[in-house]
Structure formats: structure tokens, C-alpha cells
Amino acid sequence: GDNKSSIGPTLARLVKSEGIRLSPDAHPEAGHFYRSDHFSFAKAGIPSVSIGGGTDYVGRPTAWGLQQAEDYTAHRYHQPSDEYRPDFDLRGAAQLAEIVYRLGVTIGNAEVAPTWNADAEFKSLRDASRKGL
């Protein structure tokens, strides 16, 4: 969803300042944006974006993150074993939380609310909701 609204460029600036590479959804066919918690906002015309940790990890081979994600999905996702483990390295999650916080502060302090891009399927919903304001 980072290419659907004005939130995308703001997010890109924030991740760049942290030395992180912004990348598209590795599996758009899975419809993550459309199955996310924030999709209710999008359906109401409110610009929103999907933010996740991705599969690139510092100090790990390129394919390592994808292998971890596939293993998690195949063996632990929505299973009794889907729980916190003490060996988790949460540095990336903390960095991502900081970026999401900064994104919220940046959007909240902006003089103009986020907008959908002209070709976004939710733009007409936003336009309709803003009529008369």
C-alpha cells in the first residue's frame, strides 16, 4: 500500500533516515493489504499503508529471512507453537516501531492530511467523504 497514497513518500524518507530499504510486498498475490487490520480505514476512504519487517536481515544471507518466513507460515502460524521465544532478536521490531511512531507524529503534525494517489482504488471514497467540508 505504500504506492497508493501520499503516505508512501513520507514513509520512504523515514526508513531511509534509518538506513533501511523500503521494498514492495514480496507476495502481492496474497492480498496482505486487503486482509490487514487497517483495510477498514481504506474502505472508508482513509489513506493507509501496510508496514512490515520484510525478509532482509543484517548479517544474514539474502534468502535467510524468506526461509524463516516460509518455515513460520508452514509450521507455527496460528498453531500452539506460535508464541514468543527467548531467542527472538527484537532489534528490528524495535526499529520498525520507532519508524511507525515517527510516521504517526509526522502525519499528525502535517498541515495537510494524507491523500490517495490519483490511481488508487480508494480515492473516490475519500473524495466523497470530504464533500461539503
Residue 116 per-residue DSSP state:
B
- pLDDT tens, position by position, 14-56: 999 888 888 888 788 888 888 888 899 999 999 998 888 888 8
The pLDDT value recorded for residue 2 is 63
Rounded distance between C-alpha atoms, residue 38 and residue 46, angstroms: 9
- Expressed in percent and rounded to 5, the helix, strand and coil fractions of the chain are 45, 0, 55
- pLDDT tens, position by position, 86-106: 998 898 899 999 999 999 999
pTM here is 0.83
The pLDDT value recorded for residue 116 is 93
Determine the distance from the C-alpha atom of residue 119 to the mean position of all C-alpha atoms in its chain, rounded to a whole number. 19
Which of 47, 45, 49 shows the shortest CA–CA distance to 124? 45
